Amino acid sequence: MSSASSTPSWDVHRLPRADGSVFLVTGGNAGIGYFVAEQLSATGATVVLGSRSPAKAEAAMRSIRARVSGARVRAVRMDLADLSSLRSAVESLGVARLDAVVHNAGVALDDPPRQETADGHEIMFGTNHLGHFALTRWLMPLLSAAPAARVVTMGSFAAKSERLDLDDLQSQKEYRPKRSYGRSKLAQMYFGVELDRRLRAADSTVASVVAHPGGALDSLTPSRPPVHVRTTGARLGAAPAALLLQGKDAGAWPAVRAVLDPAVRGGQLWGPRVFGLRGEPRNEPVWDHLADPFVAARLWDASCELT
């Protein structure tokens, strides 16, 4: 299935039921992850928010329950910057199987200096990529126990113009925050594509799908107090940007479709329909540099060593 024209109709406002399913959303307490969790909660599934902050997770759950009648939502403490904590975080899920995980949580720094995780990794690469890489290892038994589980990795449109430096994955030689962020998201996307290759080779029932939110701005995102509050000034000021960009509620649509749509296949890339920046989700061609198996395999080996 190679284009949106060959997929069945999809209504982002009328999602299929997923009663009995269990979904984990990392970083589900804020931003795009919050809206992924809110939308998935409306399907009848149990949605687990992976969050570093119990207080923020509680606020997110209150917001979801206020908007989704009968929402089955709970939280587990999960810190992707601390690799040694991930096994116990997975054990605390307390489920027999997991139908999907959305690898959404992330760190984005705007200014120097370069920072490191507790494990000594550059914080954006270490959290956004290595944290999810290691988390998947611990989740795989739960994913394999489901009939047809999905690993959905949330990339970024910012990664489209980036290229990995395989000899400086952690920006030790030259550190520029925005570039390091884009490369960390590109590494995540390479992981998602390579993971599916390896799952297919192992004849696994688990599929790996990559998604990106396009251009998703806080100023175009509807309020969900106290999780997110959009002022009138921000809404009016962002009006021109709405011609090309969207809010984080719409930025969640590709990942939600990647979780729920039975027509979605492993190895695909899902993003917004209009220039890859806004609109309903579509299956888009995998970016040329993202399809390079040599780079993906090198990154995989390096990630194994680092974790």
Local confidence pLDDT in tens for the 307 residues of the chain: 344 444 458 999 999 999 999 999 999 999 999 999 999 999 999 999 999 999 999 999 999 999 999 999 999 999 999 999 999 999 999 999 999 999 999 999 999 999 999 999 999 999 999 999 999 999 999 999 999 999 999 999 999 999 999 999 999 999 999 999 999 999 999 999 999 999 999 999 999 999 999 999 999 999 999 999 888 777 777 778 888 999 999 999 999 999 999 999 999 999 999 999 999 999 999 999 999 999 999 999 999 999 9
| 14 contacts: CB under 8 Å, gap ≥ 6 | none
* 175 is a catalytic site residue: no
Nearest 5 degrees, angle CA 227-CA 73-CA 270? 75
Q: Which of 34, 175, 181, 190 is catalytic?
A: 181
> Taking the mean position of all CA atoms in its chain, how far away is CA 163?
20
Which has the closest alpha carbon to 128: 190, 70, 84? 190
pTM for the structure as a whole: 0.95
Placement of tokens 């680092």 in the chain: 306
Q: How far apart are CA 206 and CA 162, in angstroms?
A: 28
**Residues 258 and 153 sit within 8 Å (Cβ to Cβ):** no
Nearest to 209 by CA among 104, 299, 108: 104
Q: Which sign, positive or negative, has the C-alpha torsion 132, 273, 204, 200?
A: negative
Quote the CA–CA distance of 254 and 268 in Å, as a whole number: 11
Single-letter amino acid code for the residue at 221 = T
Q: How far is CA 79 from the centre of its chain?
A: 15
